[in-house]
């Protein structure tokens, strides 16, 4: 079972598969929220 831990590149794919929203959702919501409040203030 030593070969499993050695494969670190797999964890990245696993995270994206288990949390696909965290990979693309954060990027969209973050910029959208910043553009929302500033536009309404002025």
The pLDDT score that the predictor gives to residue 12 is: 56
pTM over 0.85: no
Per-residue DSSP letter, 2 = -
Taking a C-beta distance cutoff of 8 angstroms, is the pair 23, 16 a contact?
yes
Matching residue, tokens 């797999």: 10
23 CB contacts (<8 Å, ≥6 apart)? 15, 16
The pLDDT score that the predictor gives to residue 22 is: 54
Taking a C-beta distance cutoff of 8 angstroms, is the pair 14, 22 a contact?
no
Q: Tens digit of pLDDT for each residue in 1-42?
A: 555 555 555 555 555 555 555 555 545 555 555 555 555 555
The pLDDT score that the predictor gives to residue 37 is: 54
The pLDDT score that the predictor gives to residue 3 is: 55
Taking a C-beta distance cutoff of 8 angstroms, is the pair 21, 15 a contact?
no
């Amino acid at each position: 079972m030593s070969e499993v831990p050695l494969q670190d590149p797999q964890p990245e794919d696993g995270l994206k598969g288990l949390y696909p929203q965290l990979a693309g959702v954060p990027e969209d919501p973050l910029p959208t929220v910043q553009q929302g409040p500033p536009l309404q203030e002025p």
